[in-house]
Chain A
Amino acid sequence: MENKVRKSSIGENKEVTRRKFMRDSAMVAAGLGSVIGGCKGKEEEKEPNTVESDAPKTPEKEEDPQVAKKVDDINVALIGLGVQCERLMEAILGKKTDHQKGIEGIRFKAVCDIFPYRLKRISGQLKRGYKHDANPYESYEEMLDKEKDLQAAIIVTPDWLHAPMTIACLEAGLHVYCEKEMSNNLEDAKKMVQTAKRTGKYLQIGHQRRSNPRYQVAEKLIREHKLLGKVKNINAQWNRSVEKHKVLLPVNKKIWMDKAALEQYGYGSMDELKNWRWYKKFGGGPLGDLGSHQIDIFSWFLGDVKPTSVLASGGNDYYKYEHNENVMAIYEYETEQGSVRAFYQVLNTTGWGTYGTYYETFMGDVGTLLIAEYATEKNNGWVFLERYIKETDDAVLKSAVLKRWNDCIRKKLIGGEYEMPEEIKDGSILKIGASIPGRKAFHYHPLLRKLTKPVHQPHLENFFDAIRGKAELNCPGEVGYETAVAVLKANEAIEEGKKLNFKPEDFKV
């Protein structure tokens, strides 16, 4: 602990300059003329930490990189140290076992969780594995009081805590990366956006597909290159097998939090803490959890168009949890190209799906795009050209469509016509479209842009680049809010048993 205090005093002078520099650049990049708000960070006396970390101390010389902090290094706090936080940590720090590179210049200075076991474990991992000396806190408020050297916070707590934590961090002058769903209620989500606006701090919502280059190319194929023609339908799903639906509680009950400690933070049991996603007061259920990633893409790929209505059906009669385990929703959109109908389903009772367990398909009158965040060497996503295009007598249509497809092949956005590998055909029922044996239903073309990084890394990079004034956020609070409006409405539609219409102002903060 003494080490830390010493270090932060050393860093302080440089720090103010660095933070001001970064913010100024950011403002310029975002096209803002004036700097809003002042810099935080009066020197404060550091109290010895209440939570003790027994992680092995690293040798003094190993800490040199921290002392010699570069001007665009970013000091980060990690709030919420559950399983999802490990994904984000790995994305930031790299994974040595996979020779996976991390993001340069990110220094974890503080970690926070109410569950002492996780707090100890993650701070220990950071110290041992990555030589980050992050101060552990049980309370985020205490953390914000004491840590005066932070520029950003990453919030990976249950949904119901996103708003208070994000707002407190923004008010404390930190930029915030907040996991989706932004909040489990829209009023809170709105306050998050308003606070970000008022404080002039960045708020990135964790819809990480928005920064995934595979998705970015896919969006271009649809909107810029118009490969699919008129998109009229979307189908997407996230189906999970029964054994995947719940997080297992730690086997060793000795490490569990006791009832009083849990209650202090609003949880009635360890199950409520670990499986908060199934409780109404804590999260939005599987639809909010999984669906929001994918329903977010619908709007994006349709040209930032918000849905006009939603109809839905869902139930919880399998597990009898508070949230619906299985949900089906139909969204309607009005685009420049007319109405679009989108079907989304999330299941927790079956892992099977037409194209695999989770994916999004965009279906146009000329072609189909199939993409999933999960990609393999052989199955990186596809575009299918409707067979009739090559057989039509309409020479004008045929040459116009083929020109667009060939352009994309030349630009190496998609591959040439491709014979679907047998194992992929067998893995699903892709060949079902061919109603005449031996005759192709479609012409398959693979998507070529690959993502070699962990899936969350580009989105975090985008956040840090924005702080450094090098980029604009791919999913600012406003976008996250629009998605939350669209997604949370489906739960309402289930209860009401009717089509619910969205008004344009519903999506405005």
Chain B
Amino acid sequence: MEFTVAMSNQKTKKGIDRRSFLRSTAAAGAGLVLSPMVSEQTASGKKADDINVALLGAGAQGQVLMTACLKIPGIRFKAVCDIWTAYNQRRVSRLLDRYGHKLNTYEDYQEMLDKEKDLDAVIVATPDFWHADHAVACLKAGLHVYCEKEMSNTLAGARRIVQAAKETDKLLQIGHQRRSNPRYIHCYEKLIKEAKLLGRITTINGQWNRSKAACQDLLWPKKAPIDQATLEKYGFKSMEQFRNWRWYKGLGGGPIVDLGSHQIDIYSWFLDANPKSIVASGGIDYWKEHEWYDNVMAIYEYETKQGTIRAFYQTITTNSSQGYFESFMGDEGTLAISEASGRSAVYREPSVPEWDKWVKLKYLSESARKQEKSESGAVLDVRETVPVAKYDLPVRMDKPYHQPHLENFFDAIRGKAELNCPAKVGYETAVTVLKVNEAVETARKLEFKPEDFA
């Protein structure tokens, strides 16, 4: 600790100078040309547009984000904070050390914010119920924040974050990382908005189905638990609860919030709308020791200028059939997309003319194989349907899934980009997603009012 304090003090002044530089750059907005000076190294060996980052929450998801950050130039981890000092914290700080990041470790985020005076940004990857306290404290300490979704497990918490971002004028990016994925951006901007390839979208189907094996409770090395006093200090009753917080009421929101949030966020993005209503069914059907629903099905209704859209979403924990995807179904075509790379396609409805033009423009690429033709031609029924033609997406995404979203956050800090998922967007998605659990409980259609999203 003494070492830490000394280091912090030593860097404080420079830190502030550089930070005020970064902020003013950001304020000047995108398109600003950086002066050559910026890329020159400072006395401390740091380039002027380097960003000093703290990782708050070094569990599995924190590690995913950290790993993605290691591929982004100019990101310097200065601090790691995790209450599981004997495991998460140790593991991450050792790893970062190997990559040449000189950093301090903390159990208490307040202490970290007090002592680290050279930070520009914090990545918050703690359990949902901590997001509000953590994000607000970091923003108020003058830091930009990348906060994992769900923004909060309560709307009150989410609102506090939005408010703090507004007051401090700091950047807040919520971790709906598909928003920065070039494949998703291509689909939204080119295929849906510009070429309108799907025609009128009437239906969305999405899911995240996981096998039983993927949903087992997380364990921990018995040699290295967190002591009971520390657990309780941070709101956990037990090590079991700490490891499996996603399943507990008051800590997380269950799989629908965990996984569904990513995908339902895309529904609203691609439709340019917030939902109007929701009905949902869910239960503790299999994992009887859990507090949150393991099996959830929800139907949203959206009203857009084009008409009504019905959007189904399911997350199940006992069967992995078809994994995870989102399908946007229109009267002219369907876009089936998944974050899982290379597993996306666009399907043309039979009555729609060929899409050669869009292939030429590289909006689409020809599928390697054509759709299987109906073999026997046997007529089944008066209402038989014809198979549809398939096209591939021409855009690839070879980076780790979270990298572009983190890049977007850092680019925004550097004044080179606007955030793809600012507070407002994250809040709207939280309103949309948290309503699922409420709809399950009330067993009736719940309506959203426009002001709910404000």
Contact = CB atoms under 8 A, between A and B. Distances in A.
B323 A434 contact: yes
Contact of A356 (B203, B334, B387): B387
Contacts of A427: 371-372, 387, 390
Nearest to B443: A499
Given A378-B372, A386-B213, A350 B331 contact: yes
B314 A233 contact: yes
Nearest to A367: B319
A366 to B, nearest CB: 8
Interface residues of A, number: 84
A491 interface: no
A350 B203 contact: yes
Contact of A341 (B281, B370, B385): B281
A318 B307 contact: yes
A450 B159 CA distance: 58
Given A318-B307, A365-B319, A422-B369, A240 B385 contact: yes
B319 A347 contact: no
B321 A442 contact: yes
B6 interface: no
A311 B281 contact: yes
B331 A432 contact: no
Given A232-B295, A350-B203, A388-B211, A432 B329 contact: no
A318 B202 contact: yes
Contacts of B301: 313, 315
28 contacts: A82-B382, A84-B381, A98-B378, A239-B385, A241-B331, A311-B279, A313-B299, A317-B308, A328-B299, A332-B281, A341-B283, A352-B333, A352-B349, A352-B388, A357-B385, A365-B212, A379-B372, A386-B320, A387-B213, A423-B372, A429-B336, A432-B322, A435-B323, A437-B342, A441-B320, A442-B320, A455-B381, A497-B277
Interface string A425-437: 0110111111101
A230 B318 contact: yes
A356 B342 CA distance: 20
B367 interface: yes
Contact of A232 (B286, B320, B340, B343): B286
B400 to A, nearest CB: 13
Contact of B350 (A314, A351, A364): A351
B44 interface: no
Contact of B310 (A313, A361, A370): A313
B427 interface: no
Interface of A, secondary structure class, is: mixed
A330 interface: yes
Interface of B: 200, 202-203, 205, 209, 211-214, 277, 279-283, 285-286, 295, 297, 299, 301, 307-308, 310, 312, 314, 316, 318-325, 327, 329-331, 333-334, 336, 338, 340-345, 347, 349-351, 367-372, 374-376, 378-388, 390, 443-445
Interface in A483-503: 497-499
Contacts of B310: 313-315, 326, 328
A442 to B, nearest CB: 7
A83 B382 CA distance: 6
List the 10 closest pairs (A to B, CB-CB), nearest first: A388-B213, A498-B444, A497-B445, A363-B319, A433-B323, A499-B443, A352-B334, A350-B329, A423-B372, A357-B385
Contacts of B384: 244, 374
A363 B444 contact: no
Contacts of B378: 98, 454
B316 A233 contact: yes
Given A330-B279, A432-B322, 8 more contacts: A241-B351, A314-B310, A345-B312, A349-B203, A376-B374, A388-B211, A435-B340, A455-B380
B329 A347 contact: yes
A349 B331 contact: yes
Contacts of A430: 322
B342 A87 contact: no
B202 A363 contact: no
A82 B383 CA distance: 13
Given A84-B382, A243-B351, A341-B283, A350 B334 contact: yes
B412 to A, nearest CB: 29
Nearest to B294: A232
Interface in A393-452: 422-424, 426-427, 429-435, 437, 441-442
A247 interface: yes
A377 B329 contact: no
A403 B168 CA distance: 63
Interface string A322-355: 0000101010100000111101010101111010
A229 to B, nearest CB: 8
Contacts of A422: 369
A27 B428 CA distance: 65
A392 interface: yes
A232 B380 CA distance: 30
Contact of A426 (B209, B318, B368, B379): B368
Nearest to A364: B319
A289 B372 contact: no
Nearest to A454: B378
A499 B444 CA distance: 6
A373 interface: yes
A373 B384 CA distance: 11
Given A240-B383, A354-B327, A311 B280 contact: yes
Contact of B279 (A289, A312, A345): A312
A339 B318 contact: no
A330 B369 CA distance: 35
B369 A423 contact: yes
A368 interface: yes
Interface core residue of A361, A365, A498 (most chain B CB under 10 Å): A365
Interface string A204-223: 00000000000000000000
A198 B290 CA distance: 52
Contact of B295 (A233, A309, A311, A386): A233
A46 to B, nearest CB: 34
Given A357-B385, A363-B321, A373-B380, A424 B281 contact: no
A242 interface: yes
B420 to A, nearest CB: 23
A290 interface: yes
A358 interface: yes
B323 A432 contact: yes
Contacts of B307: 317-318
B387 A357 contact: yes
A347 B325 contact: no
Contact of A433 (B295, B322, B344): B322
B334 A241 contact: no
Contacts of A368: 319, 321
Contacts of B380: 373-374, 455
A373 B380 CA distance: 8
A309 B307 CA distance: 29
Contact of B318 (A313, A364, A378, A498): A364
Contact of A386 (B319, B336, B383, B388): B319
Contacts of A108: none
Interface string A237-274: 01111111001000000000000000000000000000
A241 B312 CA distance: 19
B240 to A, nearest CB: 21
Contacts of B329: 239, 347, 349-350, 352
A365 B318 contact: yes
A363 B316 contact: yes
Nearest to A237: B205
A241 B277 CA distance: 26
A87 B323 contact: no
Given A341-B283, A354-B205, A387-B211, A233 B342 contact: no
Contacts of B286: 230, 232, 338, 365
Contacts of A499: 279, 281, 443-444
Contacts of B279: 311-313, 330, 497-499
Contacts of A278: none
A328 B312 contact: yes
